[in-house]
């Protein structure tokens, strides 16, 4: 990408899209185009086609999509399937014959089998049944990863880059209690308990599952690197993980310390745990880019500071 290349960041108000915009601006890119969801609904093919033919972006970071935690996924599998497949189908179809040089698509660890050997290598994709609680979302992500390689193959191009980042956290995450991911949900619950003087916080599941967390700005840095080195990439997806996983109990302990909640934590075993472990083997991408990952306590402190500045009136 040149500093004046036209770069479309889809989903720029979200967790990853906002981090990519921040990093692009900091790196001197001056021609970034964005559209709020209410102005451009990417599930609408006609709107997507007219946007791409009018704006003619050269690079696309496809960060728009319907996201949420286990409960939201479990309750609304059709919405997660429909919205995500519609966005990727419409955008890929508009991009393939356009001036776009490269597009990055973000898959999910849900695309790997439920009982996948750990750490999960790229080659374990499509080797077993997926986790039932996120089936709709996972099916869309599986389709997106296959779409990247299928479009590249059929159209003899290398436009489409697929990556699977592990669980991200950072500024502009969703802190809504029903729809949030684990990090933002824990920040919100501990903060609410501390400010209301509550002595107990109830958390979902057993606390035993382990997750690998990655700061959104680290994924943004890697995404920009991949866009700038797209010519040397394989036509298959790349895992992006920080290399270490933590149990939800360990995460709760770190976050409660940062927030300053000293009360009791009760685990609600009636809520689903999801997969017990989802650690990525990221050795393939780490051969290309030797990036330093943000240390989890530091990343969580920055995320809590952002929450206090932006979500608490």
Ligand X SMILES: NC(=O)c1ccc[n+]([C@@H]2O[C@H](COP(=O)([O-])OP(=O)(O)OC[C@H]3O[C@@H](n4cnc5c(N)ncnc54)[C@H](OP(=O)(O)O)[C@@H]3O)[C@@H](O)[C@H]2O)c1
93 contact partners, CB below 8 Å, separation of at least 6: 45, 48
Q: Which stretch binds ligand X (CB under 6 A): 25-33, 125-133, 162-170, 257-265?
A: 162-170
Q: What is the 3-state secondary structure (H, E, C) of 258-289?
A: HHCCCCEEEEECCCCCCCCECCECCHHHHCCC
The values of phi and psi at residue 241, to 5°, are: -140, 160
* From candidates 24, 70, 87, 220, binder to ligand X by CB under 6 A: 87
Q: Which stretch binds ligand X (CB under 6 A): 10-18, 117-125, 126-134, 152-160?
A: 10-18
23 in contact with ligand X (CB under 6 A): no
Least distance to ligand X from the beta carbon of 164, Å? 7
CA-angle at 85, arms to 179 and 48, nearest 5° = 105
Q: Is 124 a catalytic residue?
A: no
First vs last Cα of the chain: how many Å apart?
39
* From candidates 1, 11, 185, 203, binder to ligand X by CB under 6 A: 11
Write down the catalytic residue from 29, 59, 106, 137.
137
Identify the bridge partners of residue 210 per DSSP, sorted by sequence position. Answer: 247, 277
Relative orientation angle of helices 248-259 and 182-196, to the nearest 10 degrees: 40
Least distance to ligand X from the beta carbon of 35, Å? 7
274 in contact with ligand X (CB under 6 A): no
Instruction: Report the residue closest to ligand X, judged by CB.
Output: 14
98 in contact with ligand X (CB under 6 A): no
67 in contact with ligand X (CB under 6 A): yes
CA distance 288 to 267: 41
Q: x-or-dash pattern for ligand X, window 27-66, by CB under 6 A?
A: ----------x--xxxx-------------------xxxx
**What sign does the CA torsion over 127, 128, 134, 138 have?**
positive
116 in contact with ligand X (CB under 6 A): no
Farthest-apart Cα atoms in the chain, separation: 61
CA distance 113 to 8: 32
Closer residue to ligand X in complex, CB, 28/36: 36
**Token pair of 124 as six digits:** 């374990």
CB burial readout 160-198, b (16+ within 10 A) else e: bbbbbbbbbbbbbbbbeeebbbbbbbbbbbbbebbeeee
13 in contact with ligand X (CB under 6 A): yes
Least distance to ligand X from the beta carbon of 216, Å? 7
Closer residue to ligand X in complex, CB, 189/237: 237
Closer residue to ligand X in complex, CB, 106/304: 106
Least distance to ligand X from the beta carbon of 236, Å? 17
296 in contact with ligand X (CB under 6 A): no
CA distance 278 to 112: 9
85 in contact with ligand X (CB under 6 A): no
20 in contact with ligand X (CB under 6 A): no
- CA neighbours closer than 13 Å in the CB half-sphere of residue 200: 4
Closer residue to ligand X in complex, CB, 193/280: 280
Q: Which positions lie near ligand X, rule CB under 6 A? A: 11, 13-17, 37, 40-43, 63-67, 83, 87, 106, 108, 165, 167-168, 174, 181
* Active-site amino acid positions: 137
């Amino acid at each position: 990408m040149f500093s004046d290349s036209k770069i479309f960041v889809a989903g720029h108000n979200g967790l990853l899209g906002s981090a990519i915009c921040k990093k692009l601006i900091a790196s001197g890119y001056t021609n970034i185009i964005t559209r709020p969801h209410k102005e451009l609904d990417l599930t609408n093919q006609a709107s997507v086609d007219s946007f791409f033919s009018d704006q003619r972006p050269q690079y696309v970071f496809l960060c728009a999509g319907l996201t949420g935690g286990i409960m939201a996924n479990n309750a609304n599998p059709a919405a997660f399937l429909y919205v995500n497949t519609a966005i990727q189908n419409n955008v890929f179809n508009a991009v393939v014959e356009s001036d776009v040089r490269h597009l990055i698509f973000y898959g999910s660890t849900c695309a790997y089998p439920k009982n996948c050997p750990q750490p999960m290598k790229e080659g374990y994709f499509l080797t077993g049944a997926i986790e039932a609680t996120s089936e709709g979302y996972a099916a869309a992500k599986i389709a997106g990863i296959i779409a990247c390689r299928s479009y590249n193959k059929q159209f003899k191009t290398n436009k489409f880059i697929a990556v699977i980042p592990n669980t991200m956290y950072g500024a502009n995450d969703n802190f809504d209690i029903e729809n949030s991911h684990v990090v933002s949900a824990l920040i919100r619950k501990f903060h609410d308990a501390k400010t209301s003087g509550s002595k107990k916080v109830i958390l979902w599941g057993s606390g035993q599952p382990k997750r690998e967390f990655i700061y959104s700005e680290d994924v943004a840095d890697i995404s920009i690197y991949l866009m700038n080195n797209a010519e040397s990439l394989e036509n298959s997806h790349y895992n992006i993980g920080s290399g270490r996983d933590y149990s939800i109990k360990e995460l709760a302990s770190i976050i409660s310390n940062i927030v300053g909640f000293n009360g009791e934590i009760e685990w609600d075993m009636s809520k689903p745990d999801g997969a017990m472990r989802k650690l990525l083997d990221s050795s393939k991408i780490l051969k290309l880019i030797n990036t330093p990952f943000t240390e989890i306590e530091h990343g969580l402190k920055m995320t809590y500071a952002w929450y206090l500045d932006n979500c608490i009136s």
